[in-house]
Amino acid sequence: MQKILVPIDFSKTAEYAAKVAAQIAKKTKATIYLIHLIELPKGVVDMGSSSRFSIPESMLYLRKVREKVLLFKDTYFDKEIQVEYFIKLNTPFEGILKYAAKIEADLIIMGSKGHSELEEILIGSNTEKVVRNSKTPVLVIKKDIKKFRLKNIVFASNFKEENKEVFDRVLHFADLFKGTIHLLKINTPANFLGTAETKEKIENFITDFNIKKHKINIYSDVSVEKGILNFSKEINADLIALSTHGRSGLAHLFTGSVIKKLSKNALKPMLTIKV
């Protein structure tokens, strides 16, 4: 892992993301790229005679933003970490995807609000749009994590062939932190598969991978999202990893609504990787 993009808006959740990014960068020697995106009022961009803003006013505004970015950089990243920054005029969603592609980022780390306000975040939010459309893996952080570790990683999947590429990237992430991957298949009353058949399916799925530490888990619950949440709590998971599709809804696992419900209640970090 060489390049980590961290969108910042000076919010608490951006601080949470920055703290995790700093810890990962120290461990992997990655370069951090901070990006602050500005959606200026029309008058700031349009410097015509009818503009309510003068060029000096606009320059002062941009200079103040730069000062805030530099203060943020110095607050959350020490001198051991190489940090670059961008200040761009663009919508957050478009800007994040554009610059992730431009710098060929290996990971995007974004903050997201806690579950009490996540309903709003999940519907049409910038985080949701980035997760659904990003070709770069996205790590979503929802709370302050003083010590980011990956001792237990839950990879919840239907273990279809299309998810092998995703699993390969999750495996790389796990190897960086010497974590155990808990391969998780949720059985529900509406979608039940016997233990022996499920275990065989998972074992076939991982045949081509060199996994250092893993466990196969088959968990029954009333719904997929409840199963993932309850299992993650039981093992005190440090991360929930999921595959996404560029479809409506935050991500796609078994149905389009599963991840939306899961994210509403899960405060654990979530790593999403697009199929």
pLDDT at 124: 41
Average pLDDT of the segment spanning 167-182: 91
pTM, two decimals, is 0.84
Q: What angle do CA 250, 256, 261 make, to 5 degrees?
A: 65
Radius of gyration of the chain (CA): 20
Q: Does domain 3-114 have CATH number 3.40.50.620?
A: yes
152-274 adopts what CATH topology? Rossmann fold (3.40.50)
Kindly give the residue spans of alpha helices, DSSP state H, lying in the chain.
12-28, 42-45, 55-76, 92-103, 118-122, 126-133, 164-177, 195-205, 224-234, 258-265
Side-chain half-sphere CA neighbours of 83 within 13 A:
23
Q: Is the pLDDT of residue 251 over 80?
A: no
pLDDT at 60: 83
35-51 burial: b if 16+ Cβ within 10 Å, else e: bbbbeeeeebeeeeeeb
Average pLDDT of the segment spanning 43-67: 65
pLDDT at 266: 58
Average pLDDT of the segment spanning 27-35: 95
Across 95-109, 156-170, 214-228, 256-270, least confident range: 256-270
pLDDT at 54: 57
More confident site: 80 or 60: 80
What is the chain's mean pLDDT, rounded?
A: 83
Compute the distance between CA of residue 18 and CA of residue 8 in angstroms, rounded to an integer: 8
Write out the residue limits of the CATH 3.40.50.620 domain(s) in the chain: 3-114, 152-274
pLDDT at 118: 36
